[in-house]
Amino acid sequence: MKKVIGIGGLFFKAKDVAKLKDWYKENLGFVTSDWGASMVWTDPKTQATVRTEWSPFKESSDYFAPSTLPYMINYLVDDLRALIDVLRKDGVTIIGDISEYDYGKFAHIMDPEGRKIELYQPIAGGDTPPAWTDKVVGLGGIFFKSDDPGKIKEWYKKHLDIDDYISPLHNDDKMFAGTTKPYVFSYLVRDIKSLRDQIRTSTDPEGNKIILIQS
């Protein structure tokens, strides 16, 4: 059974959701909606078309509970029910029950350091937004602070088959210089020079650090 097969979403808290979405739309070309953006992109490693949801949440949101961290990652899975059965047998903390909607199934688990993880099995079919072709064109990676990066990386590999796209790093790693957030998101871009000339900062208006990678 395949476990995690991709990154389904990046969710994080924001002081002013509307203002932040406008900034990403204006500066990085995000195609935003009321709730965030659907990043449809081509994985450079597999050449597969991937849909990753990007969504800032209000600071008052309790969607990330019981985690106290200001972010959550959604992972795409191949067979959610079978995976939850395996994780439960392995002693992984499962939060609530599986939820089913006309567009897919969802479940939530916790990692050993208190991060809430959303697992999502999409239903085939339905409308897919057009792929992004301007400025940001995909996801480059996710970096997050960890008390024990080696141990946490082994946990993600063992339970979710993840050894790519996410990078747990020591809390004092230089990757987090310039931000107080416990995470950094990296984006693939078409023309890094023009964007660097335009943005002239490594953080967005709320202090989220941005890493741009030439695609």
- Which tens digit of pLDDT belongs to each residue from 109-140? 999 999 999 999 998 766 778 888 889 999 99
Output the six-digit token pair for 102: 């006309």
- Which tens digit of pLDDT belongs to each residue from 50-68? 899 999 999 999 999 999 9
- Which tens digit of pLDDT belongs to each residue from 18-53? 999 999 999 999 999 988 999 998 887 778 888 999
Q: What is the pLDDT of residue 174?
A: 95
Q: Higher pLDDT residue, 89 or 132? A: 89
pLDDT at 164 over 80: yes
Phi-psi region of 114 (alpha: psi -120 to 50; beta: other; left: phi over 0): left
The answer to whether the beta carbons of residues 123 and 103 sit under 8 Å apart is yes
Total residues belonging to the chain: 215
Q: What is the pLDDT of residue 168?
A: 97
- Which tens digit of pLDDT belongs to each residue from 169-208? 999 999 999 999 999 999 999 888 888 776 766 899 999 9
Q: What is the pLDDT of residue 157?
A: 96
Q: What is the mean pLDDT of the chain?
A: 92
Q: What is the pLDDT of residue 126?
A: 66
Separation CA 59–CA 45 (nearest Å): 35
Assigned superfamily of 4-214:
2,3-Dihydroxybiphenyl 1,2-Dioxygenase, domain 1 (3.10.180.10)
The answer to whether the beta carbons of residues 9 and 55 sit under 8 Å apart is yes
Q: What is the pLDDT of residue 204?
A: 94
Q: What is the pLDDT of residue 130?
A: 82
pTM (two decimals): 0.93
Q: What is the pLDDT of residue 201?
A: 67
SS3 track for 80-148: HHHHHHHHHHCCCEEEEEEEEECCEEEEEEECCCCCEEEEEEECCCCCCCCCCCCCEEEEEEEEEEECC
Q: What is the pLDDT of residue 92?
A: 97
